[in-house]
């Protein structure tokens, strides 16, 4: 009877309206994936083997409610811990009870223990790093940021490349107890022709200023001296570092490479035996003004974590107050052979199920996994225009099914009224 068909249509349209309403309600939910009600017709089994074209269906049913895992729009934010997935995959989250869940919502924060968490307290997983080295492979772990200070690195090498002005006059003397610049209007008084300074770090990360003085003693020949932190006598750079010698083409032919030990560093409690190797071999002597072209050294002070950046490959890079950076870990993604088989847990979370298959875990950009966009979120993939149109369609379908029930009621009323 038409009552059954109409009732099934009412139920199917009602469920479809539920799905559409849920999509509309979550249009602003980050990482939400729209659902779709899939209808199927229903036929009664005919024991007498009804011929084709004679069977009449007994209504409709919702065969399944599937989720559409299409890409949502990516919108930038001001939070470096907001992360969007551009492509396939899910963030792998560890629940407070140790179970694993998956999500596309990349709105993260750091809790008091340094773990990267979502709003429900689930912890983001990935590969941990030890002393800046990411330990890839194996079971992903809960990612915990290390807020401890970066240990200082004492300077051990320094490179200086300078141009010495070949037009400079010769200085007859240099007073190590009172380094003064050469008076070019009265060269007889002596002094240094040029000076430059550089910063070096001791074993405790304290910065020290090394000032170098250069005195031209003959054509193409320069003696070098240094002073630590602007105090005490200037000390002559020992051979083979001094004198610096240049040929007529301005190329250094001798000197420029030497080692210095700094007992002065002991004044800050650091090692008194720290040795730094200096390389001035790329210096030149041309007829142009004195200038430093290269200055680099390998030391740095201790530093505190000031911020993090997440790369598109999931690597979490920590930035420190001393200008250094190091890897703190790497986010992993997971994908499934059948994402529609995932069990929805609510709160933008899914769980593995027999229908989804086992998770395929890897770093972003590997296999068929997408890349990450830090400082961005993935919007819901809900098309509001399409949903509102479907809302009208299902509303009309519901009204039409109600009309079929009413028509059957009128037919029965006619039969009852027969006399």
* pLDDT, position 419: 66
Q: How many CB atoms lie within 10 A of CB 239?
A: 10
What is the distance between the alpha carbons of residues 414 and 222, in angstroms, rounded to a whole number?
A: 122
Torsion of the alpha carbons at 368, 370, 371 and 377, rounded to the nearest 10:
-170
* pLDDT, position 50: 55
* pLDDT, position 412: 83
Question: C-alpha angle with apex 389: 386 to 392, nearest 5 degrees?
Answer: 150
Spatial contact of 229 and 199, defined as CB atoms under 8 Å apart: no
Q: What is the mean pLDDT of each run of 10 residues along the chain (419 residues)?
A: 78 91 94 91 62 70 89 93 96 95 96 95 95 88 92 97 97 96 94 97 97 97 96 94 95 95 95 97 97 97 94 96 94 95 93 95 94 96 94 90 83 82
* pLDDT, position 176: 96
* pLDDT, position 234: 97
* pLDDT, position 406: 83
Question: C-alpha angle with apex 104: 100 to 107, nearest 5 degrees?
Answer: 95
Reported as type and span, the H/E element at residue 372 is strand 371-374
User: Which residues have CB under 8 Å from 383's CB, separation 6+?
Assistant: 34
> Helix, strand, or coil here: 375?
coil
Phi, psi for residue 351 in degrees, rounded to 5: -125, 155
Spatial contact of 296 and 282, defined as CB atoms under 8 Å apart: no
What is the distance between the alpha carbons of residues 310 and 364, in angstroms, rounded to a whole number?
A: 11
Residue ranges with strand state E in 72-136: 74-76, 83-86, 90-94, 100-103, 109-110, 116-117, 123-130, 133-134
Q: Which of 151, 125, 148 is nearest to 316 (CA)?
A: 125
Q: Is the dihedral of CA 125, 130, 131, 132 positive or negative?
A: negative
Q: How far is CA 407 from CA 10, 152, 206, 393, 403, in A?
A: 14, 86, 92, 21, 6
* pLDDT, position 228: 97
> Helix, strand, or coil here: 405?
helix
pTM for this predicted structure: 0.81
Spatial contact of 80 and 310, defined as CB atoms under 8 Å apart: yes
């Amino acid at each position: 009877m038409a009552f059954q068909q109409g009732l099934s249509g009412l139920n199917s349209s009602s469920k479809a309206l539920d799905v559409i309403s849920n999509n509309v309600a979550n249009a602003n939910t980050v990482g939400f994936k729209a659902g779709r009600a899939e209808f199927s017709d229903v036929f009664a089994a005919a024991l007498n083997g009804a011929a084709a074209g004679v069977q009449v269906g007994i209504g409709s049913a919702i065969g399944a409610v599937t989720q559409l895992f299409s890409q949502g729009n990516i919108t930038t934010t001001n939070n470096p811990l907001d992360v969007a997935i551009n492509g396939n995959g899910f963030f792998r989250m560890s629940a407070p009870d140790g179970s694993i869940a998956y999500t596309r919502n990349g709105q993260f924060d750091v809790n008091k223990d340094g773990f990267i968490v979502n709003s429900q307290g689930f912890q983001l997983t990935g590969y941990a790093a030890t002393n800046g080295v990411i330990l890839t492979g194996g079971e992903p772990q809960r990612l915990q940021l290390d807020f401890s200070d970066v240990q200082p690195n004492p300077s051990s090498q320094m490179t200086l490349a300078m141009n010495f002005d070949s037009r400079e006059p010769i200085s007859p003397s240099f007073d190590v107890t009172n380094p003064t610049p050469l008076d070019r209007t009265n060269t007889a008084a002596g002094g240094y022709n040029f000076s430059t300074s550089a910063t070096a770090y001791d074993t405790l990360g304290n910065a020290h200023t090394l000032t170098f003085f250069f005195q031209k003693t003959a054509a193409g020949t320069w003696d070098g001296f240094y002073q630590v932190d602007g105090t005490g006598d200037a000390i002559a750079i020992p051979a083979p570092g001094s004198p610096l010698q240049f040929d007529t083409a301005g190329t250094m032919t001798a000197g420029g490479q030497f080692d210095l030990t700094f007992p002065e560093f002991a004044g800050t409690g650091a090692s008194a035996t720290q040795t730094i190797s200096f390389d001035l071999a790329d210096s030149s002597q041309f007829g142009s003004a004195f200038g430093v072209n290269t200055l680099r050294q390998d030391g740095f002070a201790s530093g505190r974590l000031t911020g993090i950046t997440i790369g598109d490959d999931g690597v979490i890079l920590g930035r420190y107050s001393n200008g250094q950076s190091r890897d703190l870990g790497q986010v992993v993604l997971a994908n499934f052979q059948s994402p529609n088989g995932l069990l929805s847990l609510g709160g933008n979370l899914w769980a593995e199920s027999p229908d989804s298959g086992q998770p395929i875990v890897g770093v972003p950009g590997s296999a068929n996994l997408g890349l990450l966009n830090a400082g961005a979120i993935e919007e819901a993939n809900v098309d509001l225009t399409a949903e509102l149109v479907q809302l009208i369609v299902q509303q009309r379908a519901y009204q039409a099914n109600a009309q079929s029930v009413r028509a059957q009621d009128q037919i029965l009323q006619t039969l009852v009224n027969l006399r």
